[in-house]
A and B are shown apart, each in its own frame.
Chain A
Amino acid sequence: MDDSVRAIPSLRGGGLSPEDLLAQVARGSEAAFEQLHDIVAGPVFGVVRRVVRDVAQSEEVAQEVLVELWRTAPRYDPAQGSAVNWALTLAHRRAVDRVRSAQASADREQRVGTMAPGREFDEVVEAVTARLEREQVRRCLSTLTELQRESVLLAYYGGHTYPEVAELLRSPLGTIKTRLRDGLIRLRDCLGVTR
């Protein structure tokens, strides 16, 4: 699981691992939180921004996520995943919560209904491709079938539910459900995620 941490030099820093820091945060250390913040704020903001898009709203959500990280630190159990994993899980859930809130979902439904197929997907892919700092992720994404890749990207970066993904890609629900799973499995194996 440490692969993801090792792979990003900026995440290694000196001294304590994110997990050590989070353990100290759980005991109320604001100093440890500040260090942990510096490690996870970029990924957290990046994920939220990808899903929420609007910069001001993204900052608001990212702040909520980081405060949530502080608040829930005592519940962190290293057996369940890395500290960065914990932070990004929280970030993604908060972000999709925001875009699925009442008003937003009304807008989205309309958008999903009227959008030309593929347009949003192109946007996502373009943005992601441009930003993919990680050669490996890009390379592994290219090993997925087109439908697997589109499904995974629309769900993760687009924050769409799988029925929305199915509608966007004009595919049956069951197909998308399966593609999300086998796409991620292929990605997992290509990336060498060992859990």
Chain B
Amino acid sequence: MTTPDVHLLTGAYVLDALDEPERRQFERHLAECPECVQEVAGLRETTVRLGLAVSETPPAGMKEQVLARIGQVRQEPPGIGYPRVPARRGHRWPVRLVSVAAAVAVAVAAALGVVAYQTQSRLDAARAQLSQVRSAQNAVAELLSAPDLRAIPAQGGRAGGGSVLVSRQLDRGLLFVSGMPDQPATSTYQAWVIADGTAKSIGVLGPAGRTATPLLFGSLGGADEVAMTIEPAGGSREPTTSPVVWFLL
């Protein structure tokens, strides 16, 4: 495509009427065409007027939901650029949990010999994080080599499942779940250890209800059950719904 032709795409560009390849091509052209940048700015402001003209009162309750969600979303670092629409993705995990999860994933993969499905790059990324979370890794490695390690299958999961690895000797366990349906932004999965009918939270499994990540927990005491319930976003002090999945230790 010759330059004059590309230049004609300013209108289609600000109207989001280009397909992905053409849009990328046009953005490359923008980088070296100051007049185009100027024209795009003016035309984009024009489309804003078209947008303002159709302003509409949002449904009741939308604001509350948005405000609740931003409390769980970390902001990006400063940078340059117009907002791009990234590939859709869920909420970010707290950094500590991600690191622990990465360490756990590597340790477990190595121990169970299931590295095959991991791509090299994912392993590399996980290994890079590993150095920062030595203690979590050690805790998992120790657990995996415990003489009394037992694997307990999930019960009750209509969709998804998982297992708990537990060592009474080390007073420590590791919870895996996967394939559970994602929860809407307003609710989350929460995991509990239950002893004598009293539940103690061992963690909220991700703001978006992602559950594929192992969760390390300690202080088993005399616990006889690990269970997961669905709770309002942010978790509850004690379970407020019946467990969707449980593990009898």
Contact = CB atoms under 8 A, between A and B. Distances in A.
B53 A62 contact: no
A97 B58 CA distance: 20
Interface string B67-84: 101110111111111111
B69 A134 contact: no
Interface stretch (B8-16, B131-139, B170-178, B187-195): B8-16
A134 B73 CA distance: 35
Contacts of B84: 93
Chain A interface size, as a band, is: 35 or more
The residue among B9, B52, B65 with the most chain A CB atoms within 10 A of its own CB is B52
Contacts of B95: none
Contacts of A91: 51
Given A71-B73, A81-B45, A195-B42, A37 B52 contact: no
A180 B46 contact: no
A4 B44 CA distance: 12
B28 interface: no
B75 A71 contact: yes
A134 B10 CA distance: 25
Contacts of A26: 75, 78
Given A75-B80, A128-B53, A181 B8 contact: yes
Contact of B76 (A62, A71, A131): A71
Contact of B78 (A47, A50, A75, A178): A75
A138 B50 CA distance: 9
Contacts of A33: 67, 70
Contacts of A180: 11-12, 15, 17
A134 B49 contact: yes
Nearest to B78: A74
Contact of A42 (B48, B55, B79): B55
A90 interface: yes
A166 to B, nearest CB: 10
Given A74-B78, A81-B44, A184-B15, A41 B54 contact: no
Contact of A92 (B12, B46, B47, B78): B47
Contacts of B63: 34, 37-38, 41
B56 A46 contact: yes
Contacts of A156: 15, 47, 50-51
A7 B48 CA distance: 12
B84 to A, nearest CB: 8
B41 interface: yes
19 contacts: A49-B54, A55-B59, A63-B65, A75-B76, A80-B82, A86-B82, A86-B83, A89-B44, A97-B85, A128-B53, A131-B54, A131-B56, A132-B54, A134-B52, A161-B17, A180-B12, A184-B15, A187-B46, A187-B50
Interface of A: 1, 4, 7-8, 11, 26, 28, 30, 33-34, 37-38, 41-47, 49-50, 55, 59, 62-63, 66-75, 77, 80-82, 84-86, 88-94, 96-97, 128, 131-134, 137-138, 152, 155-157, 159-163, 165, 177-185, 187-188, 191, 193-195
Q: 7 smallest A-B Cβ distances: which pairs?
A: A181-B11, A180-B11, A46-B56, A45-B58, A155-B15, A88-B51, A46-B54
Interface of B: 8-12, 14-19, 38, 41-59, 62-63, 65-67, 69-71, 73-85, 185
